[in-house]
Structure 1
Amino acid sequence: MDARSTLRQSMRQKRRALSLQQQATAAHKLLTVIKKLPGIHKSKHLAIYLPNDGELDPTPIVQWCWKMKKNVYLPVLHPLSHNRLWFVRYTRRTPMTRNIYGILEPKSPYRFIRPAKMLDVVLLPLVAFDEQGGRLGMGGGYYDRTFSFIRQYNAQRPRLIGLAHDLQKVKELPIESWDVPLSCIITDARCY
């Protein structure tokens, strides 16, 4: 097992070990930190994920976005393009289904897709992170492939923000050439 796989396994165990109360407290603290983020109030189109496998729960952020009349989108596995994501509008009435990984995503997404380049902010889950903005995901490369245009064309939009529990921070991550850098990483404690 390589260093990234070993770290991935260790960090996933740590975040899954958090109690429901710890998860709920972290989710509400996260919302407080997000609300203070420069530019977040001007953003109209935000992509967010639904938590899985002990990920920091952004549900309070989703509810706040709806209250603020922001458009919320969820990642959906792209049915035609290998290992890429679509972003589909998400409301309280969106019918949901489980994808091949058991993660909830909007069912029948074709009418409400927003191109990745047209999103203002993307909040994405992390398995581990470092203070230099390095991100370790689940290993599928979905976000890196979907947002490779940011690195290729030095695009300023969307703003990619990683979400993680503070306990997922490591000193330094092994970074690969295909890793798309994040604007910042937000935990239940602070913004890096």
Structure 2
Amino acid sequence: MEYRQTDGRMQRSERTRALIVQAHVDLLREGVLKPTAALIAERAGVSRRTLWSNFRDMESLLGSTVDHWFRLDDELREEIDPSAALDERIANFCAERERRLVNIAPAARAAVLGEPDYVALRASREGHIRRVRTDLETTFATELEQAPDPEVLLDAMTVAVSWNAWSLMYDDHGYPADRCRRLMEHALHALLG
């Protein structure tokens, strides 16, 4: 009997934690870039005490929210055939990158504000950079192997498809996502052509 009670409590706790993280994600998607614990708790339909009994501090809540965004990013990732023609790989890579950047945009905007204060947000940025570099290395392995300076080419491609470049075009210039994708394609063609 004790086991079932503990198991039930753990399931309720996991549901509560998921509700809190989803509330945080929803607020970020709505443009609330620095939601307070009170606002997150209210959105989740729990008390602040419940929020803090499930997350010891803001760092742990942010860590769980970052994990949520990484899972969403995983769902948007697709394998690109590295043996396909270069034009096809660039088009597929940039289409996938557009989906992923549009998805991560609310979290990335919020992270910029909180990175100086939270390790989880700095680690998230580093994780996303590692992912994009790995994706570039896999998709464009042939071109990197043939490049006179593969590391410089990889760095240049990373810049071209980075969140920072996307945000400059999408947020600062107000370009629609499809134009940002075309600009990214153009940059990769210029670097790899």
Query: With structure 2 as the length reference, what TM-score do the two structures score?
Result: 0.28
Which has more radius of gyration?
2
Query: With structure 1 as the length reference, what TM-score do the two structures score?
Result: 0.28
Higher strand share: 1
- Relative contact order (alpha carbons < 8 A, sep ≥ 6): 1 or 2 greater? 1
